[in-house]
Amino acid sequence: MTFSRLMKTAALTAALTGTAGLASADDYHIGVTVPSADHGWTAGLMWWAQQATDELSEKYPDVSFTVLSANSGTAQVSNVEDLMIRNLDALVILPYNPATLQSVISEAYEEGIYTVVVDRELEIPAQDVFLAGDNPGLGEQAARYIADELGGEGNILVLEGPPIPINSQRVDAFNRVMGEYSGINILASQNTDWNPQQALSVTEDLLGSNPQVDAIWAGDDDVLVAALQAIEENERDDIQLVVGGGGSQRVIEMIRDDHPMVKGTVTYPPNMIASAIALAVHGVKGERLGDMYHGIPSRVILAADLITADNVEAFYEPDAAY
Amino acid sequence: MNQSQNTKPAAALVIQGLRKIPLNAAILAPLVALILLFAVSSLASEYFLNTRNISNVLRQVSYTGIIAIGMTFVIIAGGIDLSVGSMVALVGVIVLYVVNAISDPVQAVILAMLAAIVAGSLFGLFNGLMVTRGRIAAFVVTLASMSIFRSLALYFTDAAEVSTRNPIFSNVGGGFFLSIPIPVWVFFGLAIVAHVLLFHTAYGRHVCAVGANPQVARYSGIRVKRIVLSTFVIAGLCVGLSAIMLTSRLNSVSPSDAGYFYELDAIAAVVIGGTALSGGRGTVWGTVIGALILGIINNMLNLTGVSPYLQGLVKGAVILLAVLLQYKRAA
Amino acid sequence: MREPILRLEGIGKAFGPVQVLEDISLSLVPGEVLGILGENGAGKSTLLKIVSGIYTPSAGTIHLDSEALSALDPITARRHGVAMIPQEFNLVSTLRVYENVFLGQELRRGGLLDHGAMRQRTRELLASLEVALDPDLPIERLSVAEKQMVEVARVLVNEARIVILDEPTTVLTDREVAVLFKVVRTLVARGVAVMFISHKLKEVKELCDRLLILRDGQQVELCEVGELSEEDMARKMVGRELSQVYPDKPPAAAHEASPALQVRGLSLKDVLYDIDLEVHRGEVLGLAGLVGAGRTEIAETIMGLRRRDGGALHIDGKAVDIRSPNEAHAHGLAYLSEDRQGKGLQLSFNVMQNITSLSLKRYVRGLIRHAAERRQAEHYQQRLSIKAANLGAPVSKLSGGNQQKVYFSKLLDIEPDILLLDEPTRGIDISAKQQIYQLIRELTEQGKAVIVISSELEEIIGMSDRVLVVREGRIAVELNGDDINEEQIMLYAAGARQHANCERVGT
């Protein structure tokens, strides 16, 4: 089996930077699949997944990991099917789109694979743990912060994400809060697909048609950066505040460095995948978390934290990809 | 390294054996590539030869494979269809709407399947008419309809995924017959029908003639436009079949995601299979082999856990290799 | 005598076992025009390709500027000033005249194209040729003759010293030929040596100083033009009396009285005007005329490949309406296009697939019976002695003559009663030609009616029982018996003589 060993080792080395070479003693095999890195947040996701599997496989020699990514929901279905072939004990998945993945996740769950679903919830629950950020909370926090900073009065542009449930949760919550402030006027609310290029052109168009803008809310930090570029290129000095969402290191640095417009963002951390992987490690072994009296909670919602100059240091992680 | 040495004479023997069968280089090269890939995959992962894995791979391949068979006709006739991926999404949405609109589960599924085939054929007809009557290049027509179909699918659903509670729908694409997944039966059944159509009927000969030189075909009394039109309808019909298999396997459809990049996988399968992109000649078996090669690559990469960042590279390299091998042999 | 710029010594060329050129020796001095005469397949183009470096000779030596070379490549040839003006022009139709003249050797200034200089230089070149042509016109708006002038200008930019003209006059009108000849004389006066390939005896006589005659790859004559009469040239080219090449014609009354195909008042907007013709079973009707006179259009309109604007067709006395080639085939008509590779054969298809491409229905019993196809192909292979190593190989691998035989088989396989043959022997060798003439005669003996369209007068004269001369979309005259001769045909084809109404001339 020399040849086979060689192939395998080469492949695994590339994937897991060497640690999986110790696969001899693994009692637990955990498969991870996430959408491929097509924008900043998903790139962060991938980075954190690699980071967590590296660290955890070092710490627990009896656990091995396989990390896959998919550029579409149907490709991710194949990912799960292929992972299941490899005697999987636990599956950690951030579904590309939940309905497409519903049936294959159900198959895995019903086979007794310890299943952790991240971020996007299935219509018919088929998991041991669901872990997600607080989408309505993200919208709410951003809205309160903007309203406070503007003193309850001003014109606002909203840069939305693609028409998917998590975006509507954020935007709906944002609008609900803003509805409490009669002085706040939402000039426009448009889709950017969380894509920086598109965000740039959308922002340019919106700035062109709205001569007086006080604040911009971007549902995503990459979109925020693109919006800033549009503002600078159009030499607009009317905008006092630009608030993002997600918590990218780049935006956190801006807040830390007292950026004139970027003073706050709200977390929706891609390292949720890392926590999900950690939960899977303990869950599949039947362990409890620390001194908790219960097993692994079946539902974990990470708080949407507002980051401002006051607390920015706590969120600063210079090595992270997002 | 024993095994790698053993595979070489074995492969050579296979090639030698195949030489005796009157196969042309165009189909032989991809077959050799497939056999090599199969050998390498079974060495690289102990899970590869697992029956369940093989059945998974075949099922994964069948969705794009069915479409690639239709694409083979379009490409042989000198055209190209970029809209098939988006068409999967639009037909898929129609399928789910029909399934959800009818209360009797059996009736709903049958009507949905009919609707998929009719809708796919009609969309193909639209492409074909634009190419033949509108005299617009197939590349341009289908580039436009790719955008149109996707947009319609998003519009009808507000970009939201549509799923169904129909209890039997998922048995169509998710079910098994004689322990082989149903989409695989459809894929291979269609391949046989398409092979007979292409190689053993006057229609197939005419498709090749139109692609090889439409002028000669016209002077030979072949209705060139009608043949071109029909290939687009065949492509649409195949998309209909694929959409049924895919949506019923997933029991849902995502308008933004279904069929994403299928046009590229289908075209890649056709090209790996030895069909000339310039048209005029090609085989269905080549396309089937091309689709299998692509599927096995994906599967092997997933099984061995190659870095997700590198998977695209490996896939691209294997496509280039397969085609290179083919030109070497053809020359 | 001046030092020769080019000297060939014992040049030969073989493709595999086939010797296409043997022991050619000649020299060329600056300022002379050497005519090269020969039938299709005599080896003219092979010789040209050797001189321009495209083919490597398999025997002999080439001396260029007293430098001995056993082989020549296109780049070396060009460096020595060899330039060829091909029959099919190598011009980019979307680019302008001056851009084409300088294509691949653009003038630059500071790394950028110097449009002004190129335009100016082109204008000067064209003026020196006494051609009034705007350097800024796009090629696609030029006439064939003007395109040829662009090719000539391009040759001048290269400062070519040996210019090869490959049958340059086939596509030109008389007046354009006169202009071309003036340009050639201008070149010669500058000391350029010209190789002029043609099979038009008169032109060679008029333009050339010396003459090389090739037949079946052999050099049969190299002499001063004045030494030979046109009749001598023709005899040396063909190498046998015409009667040996063409089968005997049947007596005039051999064909049936009632026409197999009758065409009345056929017209095609701006192309054909009121064409009347009829052809009888057992008869070969020749359609003569200049290129572009409308002969091909007549055939294509009869076949339903073009939508006619008026006129009626009768087959065996019955009125028929033909709107597509399919319907024409169903009525027993079959058409051999002059463009064998572009319209006749699927080059990527094999012999069998080509032969059955019209008759495919007959081979289908639910599915195509491949074995029956093969049997039929083998039948034709034997009957027409098609030389093909493998019936499964693409026809593109066959020689022109064998391709043409496959094309004939394709027509014959629908068992047509009336055959329209457009340039039936274009680009094929003499022996294949003879076989095809024989075949045509066999067909008429079987009671089929045949129309032969040809630009080769000898072919028209040798094969036709009756000739119609087409000029500018009209039938100019019908010739019979002894009036079927070169002089009469040319007189009517070129329009020197005209009949008010098409009349029968001769017996």
**Residue among B261, B299, B304 minimizing CB distance to A8:** B304
The whole-number pLDDT of residue A202 equals 92
| A14: pLDDT strictly greater than 50 | no
B218 contacts in chain C (CB < 8 Å): 305, 325, 343
Chains C and B touch (3+ CB pairs under 8 A): yes
What is the pLDDT averaged over residues C218-247? 78
B60 contacts in chain A (CB < 8 Å): 78, 81
Task: Name the phi and psi angles at A242, rounded to 5.
Answer: -125, 120
Reported as half-sphere exposure (CB side, CA atoms, 13 A), residue C236 has a value of: 22
The whole-number pLDDT of residue B145 equals 97
CA A249 to chain centre: 13
Shortest Cα distance from B300 to chain A (angstroms)? 9
Query: Is the CB of A99 inside 8 Å of chain B's CB atoms?
Result: yes
Contact pairs from chain B to chain C, CB under 8 Å? 61
The whole-number pLDDT of residue C255 equals 66
3-state DSSP percent of chain C in helix, strand and coil, to 5: 35, 25, 35
Choose between C112 and B83: higher pLDDT: B83
Shortest Cα distance from A88 to chain B (angstroms)? 12
% of chain C residues with pLDDT over 90: 41
Q: What angle do CA A232, A236, A237 make, to 5 degrees?
A: 110
The whole-number pLDDT of residue A20 equals 37
A102:B1 CB<8 A: no
Residue C422 Ramachandran class (φ > 0 left, ψ -120 to 50 alpha, else beta): beta
Put simply, the chain A residues between 26 and 55 with a CB less than 8 A from any chain B CB are 36-37, 46
Write down which chains contact chain A via at least 3 CB pairs under 8 A. B
Contact B83, B123 (CB under 8 A): yes
Question: Containing domain of residue B240, as a range?
Answer: 2-330
| B137: pLDDT strictly greater than 80 | yes
Q: Which residues pair with C263 in a beta bridge?
A: C277, C313
Task: Name the phi and psi angles at A64, rounded to 5.
Answer: -125, 160
CA distance A173 to A178: 9
**What residue in A sits closest to B254 (Cα-Cα)?**
A100
Q: Which domains does chain A have, with CATH numbers?
A: 2-133+270-287 (3.40.50.2300), 135-266 (3.40.50.2300)
Q: How far lies B165's CA from each of A103, A105, B210, C74, C214, in Å? A: 12, 16, 46, 73, 85
Mutate to test the interface with B, among C335, C349, C414 (most CBs of B within 10 A): C349
Q: pLDDT-derived band of residue A318, with 50, 70 and 90 as boundaries?
A: confident
Q: List the end-to-end C-alpha distance of chain C, in Å, as a whole number.
A: 54
The whole-number pLDDT of residue B211 equals 94
B221:C337 CB<8 A: no
Q: pLDDT-derived band of residue B78, with 50, 70 and 90 as boundaries?
A: very high
B209 contacts in chain C (CB < 8 Å): 346, 349, 357
CA distance A220 to A201: 16
C346:B202 CB<8 A: no
Q: What angle do CA C180, C46, C207 make, to 5 degrees?
A: 25
**What residue in C sits closest to B220 (Cα-Cα)?**
C358
| A11: pLDDT strictly greater than 50 | no
Shortest Cα distance from A227 to chain B (angstroms)? 25
Contact B99, B108 (CB under 8 A): yes
Q: Name the one residue in this structure whose structure tokens are 């905008």.
A: A239
Contact pairs from chain A to chain B, CB under 8 Å? 136
Q: What is the CATH number of the domain that holds B253?
A: 1.10.3470
Residues B301, B304, B308, B309: what is their CA dihedral angle, to the nearest 10 degrees?
-80
| B127: pLDDT strictly greater than 90 | yes
| Segment C4-44, tens digit of pLDDT | 899 999 999 887 667 788 899 999 999 999 999 887 667 88
Number of alpha helices (DSSP H) and beta strands (DSSP E) in chain C: 17, 25
**What residue in B sits closest to A10 (Cα-Cα)?**
B306
B221:C360 CB<8 A: no
Closest to A146 (Cα-Cα) out of A173, A166, A128: A173
Choose between C485 and C262: higher pLDDT: C262
Q: How far lies B326's CA from each of B18, B24, B282, C151, in Å? A: 15, 11, 13, 40
Closest to B160 (Cα-Cα) out of B262, B86, B89: B89
Choose between A193 and C241: higher pLDDT: A193
- Give the start-end residues of each E strand in chain A: 28-35, 63-70, 90-93, 114-118, 129-133, 153-160, 183-191, 215-218, 241-243, 265-266, 299-302, 306-307
**Residue among B40, B56, B252 minimizing CB distance to A82:** B56
CB atoms within 10 A of CB A255: 22
The whole-number pLDDT of residue B206 equals 95
Mutate to test the interface with C, among B23, B201, B210, B219 (most CBs of C within 10 A): B219
Tokens of C348: 């990527």
CA distance C495 to C505: 16
- Residues sharing a CB contact under 8 Å with residue C141, sequence separation 6 or more, in sequence order: none
B160:A163 CB<8 A: yes
Contact C95, C103 (CB under 8 A): yes
Put simply, the chain A residues between 186 and 225 with a CB less than 8 A from any chain B CB are none
**What residue in C sits closest to B280 (Cα-Cα)?**
C348
Closest to A320 (Cα-Cα) out of A264, A272, A257: A272
CA distance C233 to C236: 5
* Residue type at B6 in one-letter notation: N
Shortest Cα distance from B132 to chain A (angstroms)? 33
The whole-number pLDDT of residue B9 equals 54
| Segment B95-121, tens digit of pLDDT | 999 999 999 999 999 999 999 999 999
The whole-number pLDDT of residue C253 equals 61
| A22: pLDDT strictly greater than 60 | no
Query: Is the CB of A24 inside 8 Å of chain B's CB atoms?
Result: no
**Residue among A46, A123, A163 minimizing CB distance to B158:** A163
Where exactly are the structural domains of chain C?
6-242, 244-505
Contact A322, A40 (CB under 8 A): yes
pTM of the model: 0.78
| Segment C58-104, tens digit of pLDDT | 889 999 887 888 778 888 888 888 988 887 778 888 889 999 888 87
Tokens of A167: 């975006």
Contact B250, A103 (CB under 8 A): yes
C361:B202 CB<8 A: yes
Shortest Cα distance from A78 to chain B (angstroms)? 7
* Residue type at B40 in one-letter notation: V
Query: Is the CB of A3 inside 8 Å of chain B's CB atoms?
Result: yes
CA distance B185 to B114: 18
What is the pLDDT averaged over residues B270-285? 89
Total of domains in chain B: 1
Tokens of B196: 């007979």
Residue range C6-242, CATH number: 3.40.50.300
Shortest Cα distance from C169 to chain B (angstroms)? 27
CA distance A89 to A100: 22
ipTM passes above 0.90: no
CA distance A191 to C321: 62
Strand duo C466-471 + C284-289: pairing: parallel
* Residue type at A200 in one-letter notation: L
Tokens of C441: 């005669």
Identify the helix (H) or strand (E) that includes residue C502: none
- Residues sharing a CB contact under 8 Å with residue B85, sequence separation 6 or more, in sequence order: B146, B150, B259, B260, B261, B262, B263, B264
Query: Is the CB of C395 inside 8 Å of chain B's CB atoms?
Result: no
| Segment B191-215, tens digit of pLDDT | 999 999 999 999 999 999 999 999 9
A165 contacts in chain B (CB < 8 Å): 160
| Segment C179-202, tens digit of pLDDT | 889 889 988 998 999 999 876 778
| Segment B39-52, tens digit of pLDDT | 999 998 888 998 88
| Segment A143-169, tens digit of pLDDT | 999 999 999 999 999 999 887 778 889
Mean pLDDT of chain C: 86
B308:A36 CB<8 A: yes
| C216: pLDDT strictly greater than 90 | no
Q: pLDDT-derived band of residue A13, with 50, 70 and 90 as boundaries?
A: very low
Least confident among A199-208, B313-322, C159-168: B313-322
Q: pLDDT-derived band of residue C505, with 50, 70 and 90 as boundaries?
A: low
| Segment C277-329, tens digit of pLDDT | 999 999 999 999 877 789 999 999 999 999 999 999 999 999 999 999 999 99
Contact A237, A211 (CB under 8 A): no
Task: Name the phi and psi angles at B326, rounded to 5.
Answer: -65, -45
Identify the helix (H) or strand (E) that includes residue A197: helix A196-209
Q: pLDDT-derived band of residue A5, with 50, 70 and 90 as boundaries?
A: very low
A78:B60 CB<8 A: yes
C348:B196 CB<8 A: no
Residues A237, A241, A244, A247: what is their CA dihedral angle, to the nearest 10 degrees?
110
User: How many residues does this entry show for chain B?
Assistant: 331
Q: Which fold has domain C244-505?
A: Rossmann fold (3.40.50)
Residue B77 Ramachandran class (φ > 0 left, ψ -120 to 50 alpha, else beta): alpha
Query: Is the CB of C348 inside 8 Å of chain B's CB atoms?
Result: yes
Contact C91, C150 (CB under 8 A): yes
What is the pLDDT averaged over residues A211-230? 92
A4 contacts in chain B (CB < 8 Å): 3, 43-44, 46
